[in-house]
Copies of this chain bind each other. A is one copy, B any other.
Amino acid sequence: MFESAEVGRSVDKKEYEKRVEALRTRILKAQHALADTHLRLVVLVGGVEGGGKTEVARRFLDWMDPRGLQVEAYGDPSDEENERPEYWRYWRTLPAAGHGAILVGSWYTRPIVARVFKQIGSGGFDQALDRAMAFEAMLVREKTVLVKLWLHLSKKEQKRRFKELESDRDTAWRVTKQDWEFSKKYDRFRGTCERALSKTSVAEAPWTVIEATDRRYRDLAAGEAVAAAIETALKKAAATGPKPAPDRAKPPRVSILSRLDLGMRLEGDHGKKFEKQQTRVALLSRRLRKEGRSLICAFEGVDAAGKGGSIRRLLAAIDVRNARVMAVAAPTDEERAHPYLWRFWRNLPRLGHATIYDRTWYGRVLVERVEGFCAKEDWTRAYAEIAAFEEELTESGVIVCKFWLQISPEEQLRRFKDRVKTPFKQYKITEDDWRNRKKWDAYQAAAVDMIEKTSTPDAPWTMIEAEDKRWARYQVMKAVADRLEEELG
């Protein structure tokens, strides 16, 4: 893979100046065209130490409009970053639509270094690469012009470059002890990077390997790759596909939902039974911080299924100083300018904290599917994207509880009517609720698909028979307690 980046490519000064002039006009035009679209630009600048990643980033800031273009370099994670999944720092620095980011270092850095120094095996390495690929595939489908540049130097050239930098008082600081340490492992780095690049150079997000020996050639090649990528994406974006259509599937006659026994009632001393579970949650949730864990409870269900009541009671058990309720309503314009999962990433709880979601990221495969707010290919790929998201959560120590609250259409009607006539409940009922009710079957079909496709051992769905409110609240509380007990030991 790297042989063709050791052939001695170079550009003389005169040709460079001519080409730079043309490139600047071209890349600036492309950048400004992109600013008016829903596309964002993400440029990964990777490569060997001494290859000039930062110099290339600086060149982009110089050639392009630095407004709306940020350079991100990822050093040691901060404590807030350490308290979230690994990719949180990439999500939080993801540019909005119309903007761009030049990443010096990226999600490849940690796995490559860890593999070279044998902190992970080849299985762990491939797993990390799979995650990178899934993330990139999501970015590309969520309107990102993703350009992956790799700056290559031969072993000999790297050594020469370090010595050159060290010999000048003004640049000597740029060669660190770590650089020399890494350079001793050049061959191992080369093999590891080759593996990473060949595995992750896919059609939708290919790597451009650039021979970085000659700075002029390197900068031109980098600039031209970015200009070309934006131009291609703009052309593609201009050719708009058909308008997404609502999905009005019928649920199967017999399904995981239809088999629920909505006749379940909480018998006996309700209060005492419920309180017992609530106390369990109270005591267990207090241990989250100490155990280095956090908690996410996600609630889905048709309107009036009882999500709010269950959430209110959960809140009464958890230490409110560490808990937050996130009600998922229409996204803000900043949220709209990012991939659909961004609004959930940005609100992830810190260690010891809990976030309770009143509706969730599953909106993509429920309301967005049924109402045709996104294309079929968007909601079908979402199952895997969501599974990957939840895997990142659970891997990093988040305990994920997901609830589907099931009621019958008759019970929903009773509750709607009750809301209409009770003054302090009226705010809960809107025109939308009545409209959605007419699409009952489509929502049930979407829910069945969702539960079947996204129930995993670490992030299982708990289906709650919610016809009887007491039973539902008891079951939710018990499920959270059981889950906490299982996870915290």
- Using a CB–CB cutoff of 8 Å, the interface residues on chain A facing chain B are 24-25, 28-29, 32, 54, 57-58, 61-62, 65-71, 73, 78-80, 104, 170, 173, 279, 283, 286, 308, 311-312, 315-316, 319-325, 327, 332-334, 358, 423-424, 427
Q: List 30 A-B contacts (CB under 8 A).
A: A25-B424, A28-B427, A29-B424, A32-B427, A54-B321, A61-B312, A61-B320, A61-B325, A62-B312, A62-B315, A65-B427, A66-B311, A66-B312, A66-B315, A66-B325, A67-B308, A67-B327, A69-B325, A71-B321, A71-B324, A73-B322, A78-B78, A78-B79, A78-B80, A79-B79, A79-B80, A80-B80, A104-B321, A170-B279, A170-B283
Residue contact B71 to A323, C-beta cutoff 8 Å: yes
Complex CA–CA separation, A333 to B66 (angstroms): 23
**Could you list 14 further interchain pairs (A-B, Cβ under 8 angstroms) beyond the known A78-B79, A170-B279?**
A25-B423, A25-B424, A28-B427, A29-B424, A54-B319, A57-B321, A61-B316, A62-B312, A66-B312, A67-B358, A79-B79, A79-B80, A104-B321, A332-B334
Residue contact B80 to A324, C-beta cutoff 8 Å: no
Residues of B with C-beta under 8 A to A62: 312, 315-316
Complex CA–CA separation, A67 to B80 (angstroms): 25
Residues of B with C-beta under 8 A to A327: 67-68
Residues of B with C-beta under 8 A to A320: 54, 57-58, 61, 71
Residues of B with C-beta under 8 A to A104: 321
Residues of B with C-beta under 8 A to A61: 312, 315-316, 320, 325
Closest to A31 in B: B427
Residues of B with C-beta under 8 A to A79: 78-80
Complex CA–CA separation, A319 to B315 (angstroms): 46
Closest to A359 in B: B67
What are the nearest 7 A-B pairs in CB distance?
A67-B327, A73-B321, A66-B325, A25-B424, A71-B320, A333-B333, A79-B79
Complex CA–CA separation, A200 to B342 (angstroms): 40
Residues of B with C-beta under 8 A to A54: 319-321
Q: How far is the CB of A144 from chain B (nearest CB, A)?
A: 19
Residues of B with C-beta under 8 A to A28: 424, 427
Residues of B with C-beta under 8 A to A358: 67
Complex CA–CA separation, A51 to B170 (angstroms): 61
Q: Which one, B29, B69, B333, contacts A334 given CB within 8 A?
A: B333
Complex CA–CA separation, A24 to B80 (angstroms): 37
Closest to A28 in B: B424
Residues of B with C-beta under 8 A to A308: 67
Say whether, besides A78-B80, A312-B62, A316-B58, A67 and B25 are in contact (CB < 8 Å).
Answer: no
Closest to A424 in B: B25
Complex CA–CA separation, A286 to B172 (angstroms): 13
Q: How far is the CB of A143 from chain B (nearest CB, A)?
A: 18
Residues of B with C-beta under 8 A to A58: 315-316, 320
Q: Which one, B69, B323, B424, contacts A24 given CB within 8 A?
A: B424
Residues of B with C-beta under 8 A to A315: 58, 61-62, 66
Q: How far is the CB of A84 from chain B (nearest CB, A)?
A: 12
Q: Which one, B67, B279, B316, contacts A325 given CB within 8 A?
A: B67
Residues of B with C-beta under 8 A to A319: 54
Q: Which one, B57, B173, B334, B427, contacts A286 given CB within 8 A?
A: B173
Q: How far is the CB of A96 from chain B (nearest CB, A)?
A: 8
Closest to A352 in B: B75
Complex CA–CA separation, A358 to B320 (angstroms): 41
Complex CA–CA separation, A80 to B80 (angstroms): 7
Interface-centre pick from A29, A68, A71, A279 (highest chain B CB count, 10 A): A71
Q: Which one, B29, B333, B423, B427, contacts A332 given CB within 8 A?
A: B333
Complex CA–CA separation, A173 to B287 (angstroms): 12
Complex CA–CA separation, A333 to B358 (angstroms): 22
Q: How far is the CB of A351 from chain B (nearest CB, A)?
A: 11
Residues of B with C-beta under 8 A to A32: 427
Q: How far is the CB of A414 from chain B (nearest CB, A)?
A: 22
Residues of B with C-beta under 8 A to A332: 332-334
Closest to A72 in B: B321
Q: How far is the CB of A226 from chain B (nearest CB, A)?
A: 16
Q: How far is the CB of A324 from chain B (nearest CB, A)?
A: 6
Residues of B with C-beta under 8 A to A69: 325
Residues of B with C-beta under 8 A to A57: 320-321
Q: Which one, B70, B78, B321, B322, contacts A324 given CB within 8 A?
A: B70
Closest to A33 in B: B427
Complex CA–CA separation, A71 to B322 (angstroms): 8
Residues of B with C-beta under 8 A to A67: 308, 325, 327, 358
